[in-house]
Amino acid sequence: MQSQKSQKIDLAQDYPCPCRRKGHLQPIALTEAFGCDRCQQIFVVEENGHVLEQLSGSYPYKKAWRWNGHQWSVAGSRFGNYYLPLALSIVMVMLALGLLLSRKGGDSEQWVIVVLIIGILLLAVLPALMLWFAYHRR
């Protein structure tokens, strides 16, 4: 079994590109940075040499990786992995509560509540999907 503990990134060592384009990282002279020979991305070493962060002006979220001795693993918040299931479960609970409440009201109130629930569902699911796609984009 491979070690999951992150290792310090050595600026003199050869590493594969974390973007999974089969490139290799080349150290950039006089800096604590690497450049990929395949995808032309620039990566800087952060957090006392344990994190490799991609420099990109067009991507809104910083991508970062940790080296475990064999491969790169995504560093950063794990919130992005659980946001979509959490948002969907909250929406489903709200939908169930709304439907239970609509059963108590009259016919005119029932349609208003159903329309409100659908609106809340759309407002919660669409941003969740957008964030999920942003975090899982490769």
Three-state SS sequence of 81-127:
HHHHHHHHHHHHHHHHHHHHHHHHCCHHHHHHHHHHHHHHHHHHHHH
Give the pLDDT confidence of 23-70 residue by residue, as tens digits.
899 999 888 889 998 888 899 988 788 888 988 766 666 788 899 888
Is it the case that residue 16 has pLDDT exceeding 90? Answer: yes
pTM: 0.54
Dihedral of CA 81/86/87/88: which sign?
positive
**pLDDT reported for residue 110:** 66
| Rounded CA separation 15/67 (Å) | 9
CA atoms within 13 A on the CB side of 44: 8
**pLDDT reported for residue 22:** 84
9 touches 49 (CB < 8 A): yes
Give the pLDDT confidence of 56-115 residue by residue, as tens digits.
766 666 788 899 888 888 886 556 666 667 777 777 777 777 677 666 666 666 677 777
Count Cβ atoms below 10 Å from residue 18 Cβ, excluding itself.
25
